[in-house]
Structure 1
Amino acid sequence: MNWVLENDEDATLIGLDVLNYRGREENLSKAIESKRFEFVEGNICDDELARELMSKVDHVVNFAAESFVDRSVLDHRPFVQSNVVGVDVLMRAARDSGVAKFLQISTPEVYGPRLTDAAVEDDALRPRNPYAGCKAAAEMLSRAYQHTFGLPVVYTRGANAVGPQQHIENVVPLFITNAVDGEPVPLYGSGAAVRDWTHVDDLNAANHLVLCEGEVGNAYNIAGGNERSLIDLARAVLSELGREDEDLLEFIGDRPAHDYRYHLDTTKLAELGWRPRHSFESTIAKTVEWYQKNEQWWRQVKESKQLKQSRKEIYEPKRSASTGA
C-alpha cells in the first residue's frame, strides 16, 4: 500500500484484510492518512463483500494468503480456504465486474526445488508442501478463469521478501529478534537451504510493473539476485548486531520435504524494464536496523501466548529429532 501511494500518484486504493494473527491495522497507519486509500476489514471468502468492492475498482492485486510453510504442515485447512477458496471468490467477483486486470501473487515454491538450473515461467509446477500446493492450485484455477471466462490475469512468483513490519514468525525477523534477546537462532538441518532474499520494495516495484505492463496470461519471476544459504543469512544478521560469535546458532531437525533452493530466471521481468535496487548487504542492514529501532512493534507479538505456542509446536519436535530424543 505504502509503496504504491508513494510511487504512483494517480492510484487510489482499497485495502481488504481480515486482520488475523499476522494482520495489524497499525501497519497501515501511514496509508490511512492518505485520502487515496480506504481500508476495509473483511474476509476474501465473503462473496457479498467481494462483489461490493469489485464494483469500485479497475485492477485487483491478491496478496492475501496463508503463507507460513510450517503452519501448512501442521494444519493445511486454513491454507485451502484462503489460498484456493478465497481466490475463487475474488475471481468470480472480478469476472462479473469486468475488472481490467487481476494480479495473482504466487510463489517460487510452486516449481519445487531448483538446485542447479534456473526455473523459467513455463516450467511445470511441482509443489511439495501444502502451502505451495495451494498456491499452485490457485494458479491453475486462475488460468481456468482466464481461458473460460476471459478474466485478464497475470501472475508473479516472487522470492523471499525482506523488510520492515514482517511478522516475526518469518525467518529474517525470527533470526533478528531471537538474536537481540540472546536466544537460539534455529537452523533447519545444516542450514544449507538457499533462498533469494529480496527487499520488499524491489518486489513491490516488480508487482506494480507487471500489473501495469505484464501480458495477460503470463507469469513473471521476481528475484533480487541475493541468493544466500540460511546459515549465511544467520551470520549476516549476527554480524549486523555485533555478535560475531556463533554460539547462538542452533541446528535442529529439518522441515518435511524441505526444498533446498528456489533458483529463478528473471529475464522475462527484466524485459519489462525491472532491475533490483537493493543488495543483500543493504537489505539485511536496513532490516536489522528497523527491528532494533522498533522493538515495541514486535515485542508484544513475541511475548504473546499464541506465538509461544506456535513456536513450541513447530520447533520443539525438530529439536527432539536433532538430539535423537
Structure 2
Amino acid sequence: MNLLITGGAGFIGSHFVRAVLADRLPGLEGASVTVLDKLAYGGSLAALGLVAESKRLDFVPADAVDAPVVEAALRGHDAVVHFASAGAASDVAGVQVLLEAARRHDVARFLHVSTGDVYGSIDTGAWAERAPLAPTTPEAAGKAGADLMALAYHRTHGLPVVVTRCSDNYGPYQHPGRTVPRLVTSLLDGRAAALSGDGGRVRDWLHVDDHCHGIALALTAGRPGEIYHIAGSVELAERDLTELILAEFGLGWEHVATVPDGRTTDHRRALDDDKIRRELGWRPHVEFTAGLAATIDWYRANPTWWRPLLS
C-alpha cells in the first residue's frame, strides 16, 4: 500500500509515519509513505530522523492547499491520511484540495484525522459520534468545517472517507507549547510549572501510540462515511495531571506557578469510544502513569529537540 500522509512531520503524524515504517500497525505492514508537510508550527524534520533513510519514505515540503503539488504528490497512492492542520480557513481549503485530488485519482480510502474539540464542552457523560458539533474556538471551528467537507465528499461523490476524532494526546515529539510537555519542560529547565487558571479543566488523555493504532484500524477496516472516536484511558483535571508530573520529578507544589487563563476553552471534554471498540476491536494499551513516565524520560533525554522550540 502507498500512503500519502499530510502533516506527517507533526506530533501525531510523525508518530504514525514511524510506526508504519517500523511495521507496528495492523494492516499496514510493508506500506510506503509520502509525507506532505509545510513544516509550520509543530512540524519538524527531526521528528522523522529515525526513519529518514528508509527507502519506503518520501518527503514533499508543501502546503495541502497547493493544488498542483497535491495533484502530483497523490499520483500512484492508494490512500490518504490527513493530519495537517493550519488554522480555520486553511483547514477547510486544504481538505477540499486533497478530497478533490483523491476523487480524481480514485483513491481507495481517505482517512481524515480530527479531534473531540469540535463538540465543545460537556458537563457529564461523553459525546457520541452523532452528537451536534458546537466548537468554541476558531481552530475547532476550522476542524469541524473540514470534517463536514470530508463527509460531504462521501455523500456527494462516493469517496470512501472515514473520519476519526480523538481525545487530547500526549507522548514524545509533542511541541512544548502543549499541556504535558509545557509542564514537563518547565520543570526540566528549573522553572516553575505554569498551571492555567484554577487547574480545573478536565481532559481525557490518550497516548499517541494508542491513537495511531486506532487510526490504522479505521483506515484499513472502518466503514466509509463513518466517524470513529478514539478516546483516552484516563480523565484528569489539569491540577491532578500537574500533581502526577510533580510526583515523577519528586517535587512539591512550591514548583508550580498559577497563570491567568485568558483563552476561551472548554471546561471538560470527553468522547464515547464504544463504536470503535465494538466494530474494530480497538482498545487503549498504554497505561497512563507508565506512558506519562516514559514521556517524561523522553523529554529528559532529548533537550536538543525541544529547547529550540521554546521561543
Q: Same fold (TM over 0.5)?
A: yes
Supply the distance in 2 between the matched residues of 1:296 and 1:256 (Cα, whole angstroms): 30
Residue number in structure 2 paired with 1:317: none
Find 1:2's aligned residue among 15, 18, 35: 18
CA deviations 1:20-48 (Å, max 9, x no partner) are 24221121122222211111111111100
Q: Under a length normalisation based on structure 1, what TM-score does the superposition of the two structures give?
A: 0.86
Query: 1:32 is matched with which residue?
Result: 52
- Count of equivalent residues: 290
| d(CA) in 2 for partners of 1:133, 1:184 | 33
What is the aligned-residue RMSD (CA, Å)? 1.3
For residue 105 of structure 1, give the secondary structure of its aligned residue in structure 2: strand
Q: How far apart are residue 130 of structure 1 and its match? A: 0.7
Which residue matches 1:188?
A: 196
2:126 and 2:88 map into 1 onto residues whose CA distance is 28
Aligned match of 2:9: none
Structure 2: 5+ residue stretches without partners: 1-16
Equivalent pairs: percent with the same residue?
A: 39
Deviation at 1:184, TM superposition (A): 2.5
> Is the aligned partner of 1:269 residue 2:285?
no
2:259 pairs with 1:252: yes
Residue in 2 that maps onto 1:289: 297
What letter matches 1:3 in structure 2?
A
Query: Displacement of 1:182 after TM fit?
Result: 2.4
Offset from partner CA, 1:1-26 (integer Å, 9 cap, x none): 00112223221111111012422112
Cα distance change of structure 1 residues 104 and 294 upon mapping to structure 2, 3 Å threshold: same
The 5 Å alignment of 1:113-262 reads: 113-243=121-251, 245-262=252-269
- Over 3 Å off, 4+ runs: none
**Which consecutive residues of structure 1, in runs of 5 or more, have no partner in the other structure?**
67-78, 308-325
- SS of the equivalent of 1:165 reads coil
Distance, in Å, in 1 between the alignment partners of 2:47 and 2:55 is 17
TM-score normalised by L of structure 2: 0.90
- Give the equivalent residue in structure 2 for 1:316: none
Deviates more, 1:252-261 or 1:149-158: 252-261
How big is each residue's C-alpha offset from its partner over 1:154-197, in whole Å with a ceiling of 9 and x where there is no partner? 11111111111111111111100111122232222210111111
Change in CA separation of 1:255 and 1:282 when aligned onto 2, cut-off 3 Å: farther
Cα distance between partner residues in 2 of 1:209 and 1:35: 24
Deviation at 1:264, TM superposition (A): 1.1
Report the Cα distance in structure 2 between the residues aligned to 1:117 and 1:124, rounded to whole angstroms: 15
What are the Cα deviations for residues 83-123 of structure 1, in whole angstroms up to 9, with x where unaligned? Answer: 11111111111111111110111110111111202110011
2: CA distance, partners of 1:44 / 1:37: 18
2:82 to 62, 65, 76: 62
Deviations 1:48-107 (A, max 9, x none): 0111112121110000013xxxxxxxxxxxx13431111111111111111111011111
SS of residue in 2 equivalent to 1:187: strand
Amino acid at match of 2:199: G
CA distance in 2, matches of 1:93, 1:136: 21
Mapping 1:80-91, distance limit 5 Å: 80-91=88-99
Whole-angstrom distance in 1 between the partners of 2:297 and 2:68: 42
The 8 Å contact of residues 114 and 262 in structure 1, kept in 2 or not, is answered as yes
Q: Which letter maps to 2:108?
A: A
> Is 2:72 the partner of 1:52?
yes
The one-letter amino acid of 1:224's match is G
- Residue 111 of structure 2 corresponds to residue 103 of structure 1: yes
Q: Within 1, Cα distance between the matches of 2:75 and 2:262? A: 43
